[in-house]
Amino acid sequence: MTDKRKKLRWQLPFLALLIVGTVIILSKQDRSPYRTNQGMVFGTVYKITYQYAEDLQRDIQVELDKVNASLSPFQKQSIISRINGNDPTVVPDSMFMHVFRLARTISADTHGAFDITVAPLVNAWGFGFKNSQGVDSLTIDSLRQYVGMSNVHFDGEQIIKADSCVMLDCSAIAKGYGCDVVAALFDGKGIKNYMVEIGGEIVVKGINSKRNRWSIGINKPVEDSLALTSELQTILHVSNIAMATSGNYRNYYYRDGKKVAHTIDPRTGYPVQHSILSATVLAPDCATADAYATSFMVLGLDSAMAICNRHPELQGYFIYADEQGQFATCHSDGFEKWLKK
């Protein structure tokens, strides 16, 4: 018998054992229950469903707490709060730097429509992490000098601000990033089927407990500051993708008889006023989807569609008011497949 045949005789049993072991592991995972964990993070609700043998609530919470400790402006000792407070000893962690670099990229791509230095303006209008002291044109003009990604950079060790009044707000990207962090936890454990939702931002993979793609509704943008209405505009059937929706139909107030919506245009300093009522974005990761959804609310319909056409990895679905004030919709070319079961 040749050496090659002898070697093959020894290898075949080990190969068979490996195949059997893999089949057993996969079959066990297929029999694992679908679990759902719920809680609060970033001032909103999360709901996470996944197929796994163990309850991962503790692991999930640990990961979300890390994101909070890095990006929450409501935690005094978070990385972002210490940067906003001009703490010279703060060293950005990997989570903050990932979000910071992504924010810079998307800001450049949207010509400043997305900008995490918008915090002074958001606070002034009463939608941020500090109480509004009232706002007028002089206030807006004075604050705009502190807004712009050119006012902040990373020198290899610290975040350097052009002025101590520059402040960062990652609320338009942090929920999406939190979804990505939990998804990475699941991927690391070999979980094939899950849905991660934080405040409406979502990452899905695989299939649901009914062995179908995940069904996700897009709400009609009906004015509802108390979030009591949940009438659906359409339902998506998605898998292996991230989704985020931005709209001005829930977070708003009226001032002098005029609606003041929470989406602030960093370039003008004022709340956006155009026909888009909500923007839904599908992307490979949820932080990207989250940031572009906000950007599209700032940019308006034509510019948003132009970006989708320029980026095949992004898909957009828009609900807007037509000339008669009625709801109308449009979407990018690649979005159509997600509307079908």
Give pLDDT, residue 295. 97
How many other β-carbons are positioned within 10 Å of the β-carbon of residue 78? 20
pLDDT digits (tens, 9 = 90+) for 57-73: 999 999 999 999 999 99
Per-residue pLDDT of the chain (341 residues; tens, 9 = 90+): 555 555 545 555 555 455 544 444 444 456 899 999 999 988 899 999 999 999 999 999 999 999 999 999 989 999 999 999 999 999 999 999 999 999 999 999 999 999 999 999 988 877 766 656 567 889 889 999 999 999 999 998 899 999 999 999 999 999 999 999 999 999 999 999 999 999 999 999 999 999 999 999 998 887 654 455 568 889 999 999 999 999 876 554 445 555 555 688 999 988 888 788 899 999 999 999 999 999 999 999 999 999 999 999 999 999 998 888 788 999 999 898 998 76
Q: Which residues pair with 202 in a beta bridge?
A: 197, 243
Give pLDDT, residue 222. 75
Each as own residue / partner, the long-range contacts of residues 129-132 (CB below 8 Å, 24 or more positions apart, any chain) are 129/73, 129/74, 129/169
Give pLDDT, residue 173. 97
First-residue to last-residue Cα distance in the chain: 57
Whether the model clears a pTM of 0.95, i.e. scores above it, the answer is no
Give pLDDT, residue 122. 86
3-state secondary structure the chain: CCHHHHHHHHHHHHHHHHHHHHHHHHHHHHHCCEEEEEEEECCEEEEEEEECCCCCHHHHHHHHHHHHHHHCCCCCCCHHHHHHCCCCCCCCCHHHHHHHHHHHHHHHHCCCCCCHHHHHHHHHCCCCCCCCCCCCHHHHHHHHHHCCHHHEEECCCCEEECCCCCCCCCCCCHHHHHHHHHHHHHHHCCCCCEEEEECCEEEEECCCCCCCCEEEEEECCCCCCCCCCCCEEEEEEECCEEEEEEECCCCEEEECCEEEECCECCCCCCECCCCEEEEEEEECCHHHHHHHHHHHHHHCHHHHHHHHHHCCCCEEEEEEECCCCCEEEEECHHHHHHHCC
Give pLDDT, residue 275. 82
Domains, the chain, ordered by start: 37-161 (3.10.520.10), 209-339 (3.10.520.10)
Give pLDDT, residue 249. 60
The whole-angstrom separation of Cα 214 and Cα 322 is 31
The whole-angstrom separation of Cα 279 and Cα 174 is 17
Give pLDDT, residue 10. 54
